[in-house]
Amino acid sequence: MSATQADPDIAYAICSFNDIPSQKARSFHLLRVDEDGATKPFHIVVVRWGRQVFGYVNRCPHDGVNLDWEPNQFFDPNGIRLMCGKHGALFELGTGACLEGPCKGRALMPVALQVLDNDICVTGVTLAEEEDEPRLCDSDENET
Ligand code: FES
């Protein structure tokens, strides 16, 4: 494994579980380090639904824009699907699949999340510690 390859065992805390109320979503502007060592914006949306969390890259598969036309406004009027603010595509919460709209049949890009020590953590990527300042999750040791 190269030094810049994502370590699947590393988890980055982006917020506390309780920072996102159930049935709400929040955007995070992170920076990821790609395999070539380049740092790139990594804008994601995290949805909390009860005890579950779902993460997706905040990029509509239709036109490549952020889904939220106003900051952190991700839901359709019924509050049960993610909606792109530009042309109204609707996405299933649990899968990111586009169910209606101009990108029907395509899907949001998933982001792997874990809840560790009551923190929502991003896994499967290497993050640079800037912008929303992710920190490493500590899954088997207690921080004091
Ligand atoms: S850009 Fe999202 S539906 Fe068109």
- Could you identify the atom of ligand 1 that is nearest to the CA of residue 63? 1
Q: What are phi and psi of 74, to 5 degrees?
A: -115, -15
Task: Return the closest-CA partner of residue 93 out of 43, 44, 20, 25.
Answer: 25
Contact between residue 89 and residue 64 where contact means Cβ atoms under 8 Å apart: no
* All domains in the chain, ordered by first residue: 11-134 (2.102.10.10)
Cα(102) to ligand 1 centroid in Å equals 7
Contact between residue 129 and residue 13 where contact means Cβ atoms under 8 Å apart: no
Question: What percent of the chain shows pLDDT beyond 70?
Answer: 88
- Could you identify the atom of ligand 1 that is nearest to the CA of residue 60? 2
Cα(85) to ligand 1 centroid in Å equals 7
Longest Cα–Cα distance of the chain, Å, equals 49
- Could you identify the atom of ligand 1 that is nearest to the CA of residue 61? 2
Q: What is the pLDDT of residues 70-111, one digit of tens each?
A: 888 999 999 999 999 999 999 999 999 999 999 999 999 999
* 141: pLDDT strictly greater than 70: no
Cα(79) to ligand 1 centroid in Å equals 18
